[in-house]
Amino acid sequence: MNGWGRWVSGLSMIRDIESQGSLGLVTSGLGNTGNCFREYFMHKFRAMLGKNRIIFPGEKVLLAVSGGPASSAMLRQVQEGLSRETAKKLRFIPSVIYVDEGAVRGQSPAQREQSLACMETLLQATGFPYYLVHLEQELLKLFEAVQTMTAKEELLQMLRTHLILQTARTKGYTKVMTGETCTRVAIKLLTNLALGRGAFLAVDTGFKDNRHGDVMVVRPLREYMAKEIAFYNHFFDVPTVIAPPLPTKRRDKPSFRHVVESFLLGLQKDFPSTISTVYRTGEKLSADRAKPSCEAERCLLCLCALDLDGEEELALEPTLIIDEPELERNGAERKSAYIPLLCYGCRLTFKELGPVTTLPPYVRAEAQRRIHSAEMQQQNQEVPPEDKELSKS
C-alpha cells in the first residue's frame, strides 16, 4: 500500500475508532498509519506555503500562538519543517508571539501568572525566540462598557491583531502566521456576513491578508479541518494551553460567532460537507474591495478600506446615532467625530464602546490626526480662491 492508501485506511480507522468511542485505547497501536498521517499533515502544510510562494528563504516570520489546538499544531509543523533533510526543509526564520489576554478574560493575577508560566515553558521548549505581550489592564474599562458578546469578541480580536502587528513591525518581521483552520474560516465567513463585513470577507479569511501594507498576515492552516488538528495533536502529543472564555453574565445573549458555530457544526454532523462547502464559497471572493487607496481611507479599527460613500452613510444614520452626554460634545474627542473614520462593521462595534478616552492611546492619536487634517481641508475648501487672492492684497 502506498502512503496515500495507508493514510486513507488510517482515516477510516480513525472514524471506526471514533464511532466506538475508544480513541485513547487504540492510538498507541497506530504504527505505520501514524507515520503516514504525520507525512500527510506535513505535506499539506508545505504544499500550502509552496503553492502561494510568498514566504522567502531567510525571511523573519512571527508565529501568532494562542496555546489553542490549531496554533499549537502550526508551531509543531514549523518545528518539524525546520528539522527536515535539506530538500524538504522550511527556510524561513521563525519566532513566536503570545498575547496574554488574562485581564479581559477575567483571570485573577495568580491564574494569569500560572497560565503565563505554562505558556512560557511550552515556548522555551521550542527553542525559538519568543515574545510575551499583554493586553493591558487599562483596556478592561473599554471592555466593561461593551454590552454584547459579539462586540466584545470583535473588539478583542482587533486589539490582539493591533498588538501582534505592532510587535512584528518594531522587531522587523514582514510576515505573521496565524492558525485559522478550515472550520474557523467557514465560521468566520458566515459571521462576518452577519456583521456587515461582506466587503472584507476575502482579507478577513483568505490565505494572505495584506491590508496592513508592511506586514502580511498568512493563514497556512486554512485547509485543515478542526478534527484533523485534534487527531494530530492527540497522536503526536502536541501540548496546548487553553485560555478561559470571555466572562459572561447570565442575561448575556451568545455572540453571532457562537450561534453560527453551533449552526455549522450541527449541520456538519448530518451533512459532512457543510464546512468545506462554505469554505470553498469563500475561495471565490476577491480581496480588491478591502484595499484602501490611501491611509485616510482605512478604517481606524480593522484597517480595511472604508466601505461607505456619502449617500449610504445618510441611509444608515438612524441605526448609528450615538447618545453622548453634553460634556463630551466638544472637540474631536466626541464619539460621533470618530464615526466617519470607521467601516460599517466597526461602527456597530464602536457604538457599544464607552467614551473614546477608554480607547488605546495609539487609536486616539491616529483619530485626532485624521479629524484635524479633515478640518483643515474643509476650511481650505470653504474659502473661495478669489477671496484668498483678495486677502493677500
Show the site string, 298-317: x = touches Zn ion by CB under 5 A, - = not.
-x-xx---------------
Q: Residue 351: which of 363, 360, 342 has the closest Cα?
A: 342
> What HEC string does 11-64 produce?
HHHHHHHHHHCCHHHHHHHCCHHHHHHHHHHHHHHHHHHHHHCCCCCCCEEEEE
CA 290-293-297 angle, 5° bins: 75
Nearer to Zn ion, 287 or 302 (CB): 302
Report DSSP state, residue 273.
T
Q: Which stretch binds Zn ion (CB under 5 A): 113-121, 186-194, 345-353, 383-391?
A: 345-353
Nearer to Zn ion, 97 or 346 (CB): 346
- Give dist(CA 144, CA 140) in Å, integer: 6
The CB-of-266 to Zn ion minimum distance in angstroms stands at 30
Nearer to Zn ion, 74 or 302 (CB): 302
Is residue 290 near Zn ion by the rule CB under 5 A? no
Taken in order 94, 81, 125, 109, is the CA torsion positive or negative? Answer: positive
The count of other CB atoms within 10 Å of the CB of residue 98 is 23
Contacts of 240 (CB under 8 A, 6+ apart): 67, 68, 69, 72, 233
C-alpha cell at 380: 481650505
Distance set, CA 250 to CA 59, 105, 167, 254 (Å) = 47, 16, 36, 10
Q: Exactly one of 158, 238, 346, 356 binds Zn ion (CB under 5 A); which one?
A: 346
The CB-of-28 to Zn ion minimum distance in angstroms stands at 49
Is residue 264 near Zn ion by the rule CB under 5 A? no
The CB-of-344 to Zn ion minimum distance in angstroms stands at 8
The CB-of-192 to Zn ion minimum distance in angstroms stands at 11
Nearer to Zn ion, 193 or 376 (CB): 193
Is residue 343 near Zn ion by the rule CB under 5 A? yes
Nearer to Zn ion, 48 or 306 (CB): 306
Q: Which stretch binds Zn ion (CB under 5 A): 122-130, 215-223, 336-344, 364-372?
A: 336-344
The CB-of-222 to Zn ion minimum distance in angstroms stands at 22
Residues 126, 75 contacting (CB under 8 angstroms): yes
The CB-of-92 to Zn ion minimum distance in angstroms stands at 30
Q: What values do phi and psi take at 132, rounded to 5?
A: -105, 115
The CB-of-44 to Zn ion minimum distance in angstroms stands at 32
Q: Which positions from 104 through 123 interact with Zn ion, judged by CB under 5 A? A: none
Residues in the site for Zn ion, rule: CB under 5 A? Answer: 299, 301-302, 343, 346
